[in-house]
Amino acid sequence: MNMNRVQISKYELFSLIILFQWGTTIIFGFGANAGRDAWIASLISTGIGTLLILLYVLIYRLGGDRTLAEWFTYAFGKWLGAPLSWLYPLVFIYNGARIISDIRFLLPVTIMNRTPDWVIGITFLAVVVYAMSGGIEVLARIAAFTLPFLLLAIVLEMILLGASRSLHYVNLLPIVGEGWGRIWETVWPLGIMQTYGESIEFALIWGYVSQKKGLAATASFATLFAGFFIALLGLLTIAGMGEAVFQQMMYPAFALLKLSKIRFIDNLDALGIVYLVINAFIKLSMHLYAASLCIQQLTAAKKIRPVIFVVAALALLLSLTMVVSFTEHLQVAMVAVPYHLWLPLYLVLPMIVLAVLPLRNWIAGRKL
Amino acid sequence: MSIYFFPWESHHLLVSPWHFQLVLLIGALLGSVITWVRKK
């Protein structure tokens, strides 16, 4: 594909990856099952997740800078490759629908109590579709613009929490007191697949980065940076509330923000809404834009805009029909989706492609 | 219509995830037909 006209800078890619990986994890909390050791599980997941991102970059490079939509047809031919490639946009649409559902259920219980959830979902999606219509450059600039503000808000939150003496580091002890079992259960596969496996979507937009040199370094540094902050927020939440409350809370980040009380500066949970809306906006936009790009490339469509509308309509339909119980909606992300969808698509198939690509390149070289 | 009718519904996914996997495979095959026709 000719990708020369649209270009994003390395910093824009860096910001996109960070906000995408933060996603709704920053609000729902990471690894409640690991209890007070959730921050350790987060750090381990980040380490392995970075290796996974490097695996995707390696496949991208070995495949001659081909996008995710072209990996499988290049490696296996069009008859087997096309069906495998089509699985990805369908799962990206499902992932996008999950984000819409998160928004539909979180906003009514926090700030917009009397607004019907479907109104929230449709309105949010309409804004996302508008931004996506501007292309990946617009999304990348939004991410680049909002990242410094979010970082500032997190630093401010840490200062206020520290100053209000709400953090009790004894809550973190004993470290790994229950053994490594529950930490590993959190890391594998959910911790790695949800935050980092989903970043396979960036294999569709690496072609737009203006400077290809140092792509692996940018992607891996962004992943480490995002993972560090997820772990840090987890650590603060456990220190502030203790293990039992951390595990029971549906939205621990909101509860953490309410802990800070210095004179008139309190009820900072509005800041949590800002985190959620920005991160969910970027994550949903990336899911749906990646699905649209993938479908555009697979159908050889000339324009992406009609594809975006179809993809957004499908995501909305899925979201409106996927949640009967919100508890089950969260449970699915922990026990069903990581094993039955993400593991085969984000790890097994890319590993097979990686094994086949050298042979494919050798055959392609002999034909020249 | 049952509230658990759709294969991507959370309860349905927890009980029988292969229903959704099957839907994905059928969707992928249908999409592939467009790819095979348009990218000859």
- The ipTM (two decimal places) reads 0.94
What DSSP line would sit under A173-206, residue for residue? PSTTTT-SHHHHHHIIIIIHHHHTGGGGGGGGTG
pLDDT value of position A308: 96
Alpha helices in A323-346 (DSSP H): 326-335, 337
pLDDT value of position A25: 79
Q: Is B15 on the interface with A (CB under 8 A)?
A: no
A9 backbone dihedrals φ, ψ, rounded to 5° = -85, 170
A265 backbone dihedrals φ, ψ, rounded to 5° = -90, 90
What is the average per-residue pLDDT within A241-245? Answer: 79
Amino acid at residue number A197 = G
Other C-beta atoms closer than 10 Å to the C-beta of A175 total: 9
Chain B CB contacts of A83 under 8 Å are 25, 28-29, 31-32
Q: Are A117 and A111 in contact (CB under 8 A)?
A: no
Amino acid at residue number A32 = A
Q: Please give the structure tokens belonging to residue A8.
A: 């994003």
- Classify residue B1 by its DSSP letter: -
Cβ partners under 8 Å of residue A181, min gap 6: none
Dmax of chain B from CA atoms?
A: 42
pLDDT value of position A1: 46
Is A162 or A48 the better-scoring residue by pLDDT? A48
Q: Is B21 on the interface with A (CB under 8 A)?
A: yes
Lowest mean pLDDT among A23-27, A125-129, A132-136, A297-301: A23-27
* B1-40 confidence digits (pLDDT tens): 556 788 888 888 888 899 999 999 999 999 999 999 987 6
Lowest mean pLDDT among A59-73, A283-297, A327-341, B10-24: A327-341
- Classify residue A213 by its DSSP letter: T
Q: Are B21 and B29 in contact (CB under 8 A)?
A: no
Calpha distance A89→A94 (Å, rounded): 9
Domains of chain A in sequence order: 10-336 (1.10.4160.10)
- The answer on pLDDT for A2 being more than 50 is no
CA dihedral sign of residues A156, A162, A163, A168 = positive
Calpha distance A225→A310 (Å, rounded): 34
Calpha distance A171→A226 (Å, rounded): 24
HSE-up (13 A, CA, CB side) for residue A289? 27
A209 backbone dihedrals φ, ψ, rounded to 5° = -70, 130
Chain A CB contacts of B28 under 8 Å are 83-84, 86-87, 90
Using the structure block, give the residue that is written with the tokens 């697979």.
A298
pLDDT value of position A30: 75
Compare all CA atoms of chain A with the CA of B39 and give the residue at the minimum distance.
A300
3-state secondary structure B6-40: CCCCHHHHHHCHHHHHHHHHHHHHHHHHHHHHHCC
* A14-56 confidence digits (pLDDT tens): 999 999 998 877 777 777 777 788 889 999 999 999 999 999 9
pLDDT value of position A11: 94
Compare all CA atoms of chain A with the CA of B5 and give the residue at the minimum distance.
A321
CB contact under 8 A, B36 and A82: yes
CB contact under 8 A, B14 and A83: no
Q: Are A54 and A214 in contact (CB under 8 A)?
A: no
Question: What mean pLDDT is reported for chain A?
Answer: 87
- Classify residue A134 by its DSSP letter: T
- Please name which of A16, A86, A21, A75 lies closest in space to residue A228, comparing C-alpha atoms: A21
pLDDT value of position A368: 52
- The answer on pLDDT for A7 being more than 70 is yes
- Computed on alpha carbons and rounded to an integer, the radius of gyration of chain A in Å comes to 21
Chain A CB contacts of B1 under 8 Å are none
pLDDT tier at A176, thresholds 50, 70, 90: confident
A122, exposed or middle or buried, with CB in 10 Å at 0-12, 13-18, 19+?
Answer: middle
Calpha distance A151→A122 (Å, rounded): 29
- Classify residue A339 by its DSSP letter: I
* A268-301 confidence digits (pLDDT tens): 777 777 888 888 899 999 999 999 999 999 999 9
